Amino acid sequence: MALIVQKFGGTSVASTDRIKNVARRVARWKAQGNDVIVVPSAMSGETNRLIGLAREISAEPDPRELDVIASTGEQVTIALLAMAMHEEGLKAKSYTGAQVRVLTDSTFTKARILQIDDEKIRKDLAEGNVVVVAGFQGADENGNITTLGRGGSDTSAVALAAALKADECQIYTDVDGVYTTDPRVVPEARKLDTITFEEMLEMASLGSKVLQIRSVEFAGKYKVKLRVLSSFDDEGEGTLITVEEEKKMEQPIISGIAFNRDEAKLTVLGVPDRPGIAYQILGPIAEANIDVDMIIQNVGHDGTTDFSFTVNRGDYTKALGVLETVKTKLDARGVVGDNKTCKVSAVGVGMRSHPGVASQMFSALASESINIQMISTSEIKISVVIEEKYLELAVRVLHKAFGLDKAD
Ligand code: ADP
Ligand code: ASP
Ligand code: MG
For 32-54, the pLDDT digits (tens) are 999 999 999 999 999 999 999 99
pLDDT tens digit sequence for 152-175: 999 999 999 999 999 999 999 999
| Within a domain: 197 | no
Q: Confirm if 7 and 154 have CB atoms less than 8 A apart.
A: yes
Rounded CA-CA distance 133/97 in Å is: 7
- For the beta sheet containing 256-272, the strands, ordered from the edge strand earlier in sequence to the opposite edge, are 292-297, 304-312, 256-272, 334-347, 381-387, 374-378
Contact between 313 and 264 (Cβ < 8 Å): yes
Overall average pLDDT of the 229-253 stretch:
79
Per the domain annotation, does 326 fall within a domain? Answer: yes
Q: Among all ligands shown, which has an atom nearest to the Cα of 150?
A: 2
- Percentage of the residues of the chain whose pLDDT score is greater than 90: 88
Average pLDDT, the chain: 94
Q: Which residues pair with 383 in a beta bridge?
A: 345, 376
Q: pLDDT band at 69, cuts 50/70/90?
A: very high
> What is the C-alpha to C-alpha distance for residues 402 and 404, in angstroms, rounded to an integer?
6
What H or E segment, with its residue span, contains residue 197? helix 197-205
Q: Name the binding residues.
A: 7-10, 47, 74, 173-174, 179, 184, 209-210
Task: Look at the chain and report how many structural domains it folds into.
Answer: 2
Q: For the residues 281-289, what does the mean pLDDT come to?
A: 94
Do 17 and 148 lie in one domain? The reply is: yes
Whichever domain contains 17, its CATH number is: 3.40.1160.10
What is residue 2's predicted lDDT score, i.e. its pLDDT? Answer: 96
Nearest ligand 1 atom, CA 228: 25
Give the residue, by CA position, lying nearest to ligand 1 atom 11.
210
- Rg of the chain on CA atoms, in Å: 23
CA 315 – CA 240 distance, rounded (Å): 35
* pLDDT over 70, % of the chain: 98
Specify whether 9 is located in the same domain as 125: yes
**Contact between residue 171 and residue 7 where contact means Cβ atoms under 8 Å apart:** yes
Rounded Cα gap, residues 257 and 398, in angstroms: 7
Question: What's the pLDDT band for 16 if we cut at 50, 70, 90?
Answer: very high
Which protein residues touch ligand 1 with a CB less than 6 Å away?
9-11, 41, 151, 173-175, 178-179, 181-184, 208-210, 256
Q: How confident is the model at residue 406 (pLDDT cuts 50, 70, 90)?
A: confident
In a domain, 364, yes or no: yes
Q: Are residues 141 and 10 in the same domain?
A: yes
For 56-65, 211-220, 347-356, which range has the lowest pLDDT when averaged over its residues? 347-356
Domain identity same for 300 and 397: yes
Residue 336: the pLDDT is 96
How far is ligand 3, taken at its centre, from the CA of residue 172, in Å?
Answer: 10
12 in the same domain as 110:
yes
Same domain, 168 and 285: no
Residue 389 belongs to some domain of the structure: yes
Helix (H, G, I), strand (E, B) or coil at 173: strand
Answer yes or no: do 167 and 260 share one domain.
no
Residues 275 and 393 in one domain: yes
Q: What is the pLDDT of residue 299?
A: 79
Give the pLDDT mean for 327-343.
95
* 361 and 271 within one domain: yes
Cβ contact 230:369 at 8 Å: no
The minimum-distance atom of ligand 1 relative to the CA of 191 is 24
Q: Mean pLDDT across the stretch 373-377?
A: 93
Select from 148, 174, 200 the last residue of a domain: 174
pLDDT of residue 345: 97
Among 36, 5, 22, smallest CA distance to 124 is for 36
> Helix, strand, coil shares of the chain as percentages rounded to 5?
40, 30, 35
CA atoms within 13 A on the CB side of 212: 22
* Average of per-residue pLDDT across 249-256: 78
Mean pLDDT lowest among 108-117, 276-285, 348-357: 348-357
Whether the CB-CB separation of 225 and 157 falls below 8 Å is answered with no
| Banded model confidence at residue 352, pLDDT cuts 50, 70, 90 | confident
How many CB atoms sit inside 10 A of residue 129's CB? 21
pLDDT band of 251, cuts 50, 70, 90? low
Tell me, what CATH number does 343's domain have? 3.30.2130.10
φ and ψ of 375, to 5 deg: -135, 140
Which residue, 174, 200, 223, sits at the end of a domain?
174
Residue 314 lies in a domain: yes
Q: Do both 19 and 153 map to the same domain?
A: yes
Asked if residue 260 belongs to a domain, the reply is yes
pLDDT at 408: 62
Residue nearest to atom 4 of ligand 2 (CA): 47
Query: What pLDDT, in 10s, does the model give residues 287-301?
Result: 998 999 999 988 777
Instruction: Output the pTM of the full model.
Output: 0.92
Helices (H) and strands (E) in the chain, counts: 13, 18
Domain shared by 260 and 388, yes or no:
yes
Q: How far is the CA of 160 from the centre of ligand 3 (A)?
A: 17
pLDDT of residue 250: 60
Q: How far is the CA of 408 from the centre of ligand 2 (A)?
A: 34
* Same domain (yes/no): 165, 264: no
Last residue of a domain, one of 152, 174, 196: 174
The CA–CA distances, whole Å, from 252 to 180, 208, 353 equal 11, 19, 10
Q: Is residue 222 part of a domain?
A: no
Determine the residue type at 405. Answer: D
Residue 230 lies in a domain: no
- Segments forming the whole domain that contains residue 79: 3-174
